[in-house]
Each structure stands twice: as structure tokens, then as C-alpha cells.
A and B are shown apart, each in its own frame.
Chain A
């Protein structure tokens, strides 16, 4: 039974806080320290927000070569603009929005556009043995690994809009809704309801495949 609550309020109950290891409130201070020459502050910014930039780039289905260059371009430009940011505390949104614009330029540059239906994304498990992978393999049985693959495959086959939104949302640490909004040019207020819809759709796909 659905209660009468408005869907837009749904995400307030999400059982974890968004904006993980680098507290988003600290970003402004880190940016100012980096401007003053503190390389450790810069590194903390990169480690805290790099995964967000990567997620935005991956949400846009570029070829690997384009994805890598866009990622670098975004950070080069961020370093260049470091001392000129009007709102240092919104560095995450600046990065997300810059990444989006660079991705759209790749689309426009049709010659370079290569839709990666990316079967090799799934192969990457065997290609590079990341620490996460070794950990996963060690701790969980092969069945669990298979579940992760299937989850990822169903995710990849979601409609483009849902796939894009979720790819940005699942950056680690989780981005704020302001950052998601900047990454995809959608209103902050519509992110929560869309997120619910997309996750429900994903769950339905998993269940219909008997993956539950």
C-alpha cells in the first residue's frame, strides 16, 4: 500500500549520508589551502572528487581513450582555475559540470564518437586485478562475483536515462544532489524520484531474471 507521501520526499530516508570521505563542507577549505600551496590538500580534493568526475565521464559512454582524456582535461582545467573559483565549496559541482560539457563536446565531434556497448567492461574483471577484486574474490564465493556481474549487466542494459543517473549516483563517495544536478543538467528536486524509479526498475529486471 502506497502511503500518501510525495515521492520527492522519499530520498530523505536513504540510510546513509551522501558526500563521503572528504566531507563536502571541507572542500572549500581544501581548495583554499591548495591555492596557498598545500599539495596534500590538492591530493585530498583529487581523491575525494576524482571518482565523481570518473562517474560523470563513464555515464556518457565515451570510448576509453576519450574518457581518459576528458578526465585529464577536467582536472587540468580545475588546477588552472583553482585560485579563481567563485564558490570553492562547490568545487564538486564545478568539476561535474565541466566534465559534462567536455563529454558533450565529444558527442558533437561526431568523427570521434564511438558508442561503446562495451562488452569488455565485463571482461575487465579478469583484465586488471584491482585490489577490490582480489578482496572480493577472497571474501566471497564465485556465486557472489556472478551476482555482481549480473547486477552490472542489468544496469548496463537499463534505459539510457536511468543508466546515466545511476552511474553518477554510485560514485564513491556518493555525490551530493547538487553535484548530480551539475553532472547531468537535471533539477535537484527530480533526482530523488528518478533515482527511486530507476532503482525499482533495476530491481524488477533482476527479479525477472531470477537473480534475487
Chain B
């Protein structure tokens, strides 16, 4: 391995060769010292179950973390999110206490909180499309809305 540093020719191509070897050596070091954890690899394999051709994706169109001016001194300001799928809009507010949301246009809706490929948790929703969850999502989450035959899932996100 010491030949990565053993030559002192300073032509371009030898320099390229040396850096190429060094990069490869570094790649091997990364594979040993900072590998992709097998559990994470598996969770990505399992994520295939989240592939759902029938649901429409509601894109994140507003995120207070990115789109709003920071509030000075407000260390636990709620995270405000807006998702949009065609005519359907969804406003969500996440705090440490939990999550509240409003589906627009207002109306009866069934809402589920997804945390991964595992089964979703149904949230309480009223006839005006308002819903709440008593705990904040930990880790990646998405919301699935059902109105009649229409299914909308928000873009996966973490807060």
C-alpha cells in the first residue's frame, strides 16, 4: 500500500495515478470505519412497500424552516408545513406537544399518520377537515388523507 506515496515523479499522470490510489485507499478505509449500517440498508429495501401508485403525492410547498424568517429568540417555534396536491391543500403545525392540521377545502376526511412501512395510525379528524395527533412524529413521517375514493399522501419529511 505504501506505493501510493512511494513515487516522487511529478508529471501529471503519475500524480493522477497516486491520487487515484490514495482515493481508493480512503474508500476502503470508509468501508471499514464508516460503513452504511446494515439496518439502514434494510430499511431502504423495506421502503419499497411505500411505493403506492394509487395515491397522489402532496408536495411540500411551504416549510417555515426554509421559507419563513426565523423568529429571534423563539427556540421552540412550531414548524409550519403546507402540502399541495392539485386542489387539495393541507396545513400542518408540528410542535413538541404534537401535530395539528387542516385539510382544505374543509370537509370530512380520514387522516392517518405514517412512520414508515409499518401500519399507519389513524388520527382524529372532524367534519371540517381538522385533525390532531397527541405526540409529535419522531423520525420520518407522512400523512395519508382519504376523501371518498381520493387518496393523497404528503411527501415524506422529518421535523
Q: Point out residues on A near B: beta carbons under 8 Å.
A: 1-3, 5, 10-11, 13-16, 34-35, 39, 42-43, 46-47, 50-51, 53-55, 58, 68-73, 75-84, 102, 105, 108-109, 111, 121-122, 124-125, 130, 132-133, 136, 144, 147-149, 151-152, 155, 166-167, 169-172, 174, 195-196, 199-200, 202-203, 206-207, 211-212
Contact status B11-A3, CB under 8 Å: yes
Query: Considering the chains assembled together, what is the distance between the CA atoms of A199 and B17 in angstroms?
Result: 11
Contact status B53-A76, CB under 8 Å: no
Contact status A151-B25, CB under 8 Å: yes
Contact status A203-B5, CB under 8 Å: yes
Comparing B37-45, B98-106, B119-127, B128-136, the segment that makes contact with chain A is B37-45
Known contacts A203-B5, A203-B19; is-contact A124 B30 (Cβ 8 Å):
no
Query: Considering the chains assembled together, what is the distance between the CA atoms of A206 and B2 in angstroms?
Result: 11
How far, in Å, is A59 (CB) from chain B's closest CB?
Answer: 11
Contact of A50 among B4, B25, B44 (CB under 8 A): B44
B71 within 8 Å of A (CB atoms): no
B28 within 8 Å of A (CB atoms): yes
Contact status A16-B47, CB under 8 Å: no
Closest to A122 in B: B33
Which A residues touch B36, using CB under 8 A?
A: 50-51, 54
How far, in Å, is A205 (CB) from chain B's closest CB?
Answer: 11
Instruction: For the complex, count residues of B whose C-beta is within 8 A of A.
Output: 58
Which B residues touch A80, using CB under 8 A?
A: 50-52, 57, 142, 153, 155-156
Contact of A69 among B33, B49, B63, B139 (CB under 8 A): B139
Interface of B is mostly: helix
Given contacts A72-B47, A196-B19, 9 further A-B contacts (CB under 8 A): A10-B16, A68-B40, A72-B140, A73-B158, A75-B43, A79-B47, A133-B32, A152-B29, A171-B27
Which B residues touch A11, using CB under 8 A?
A: 16
Query: Considering the chains assembled together, what is the distance between the CA atoms of A48 and B91 in angstroms?
Result: 36
Contact status A111-B75, CB under 8 Å: yes
Which A residues touch B45, using CB under 8 A?
A: 42-43, 46
Contact status A196-B15, CB under 8 Å: yes
Contact of B65 among A51, A109, A174, A206 (CB under 8 A): A109
Which B residues touch A35, using CB under 8 A?
A: 51, 53
Contact status B65-A108, CB under 8 Å: yes
Shortest 10 CB-CB distances between A and B: which pairs? A212-B5, A199-B19, A76-B156, A75-B44, A54-B36, A170-B27, A73-B140, A77-B156, A79-B50, A42-B48
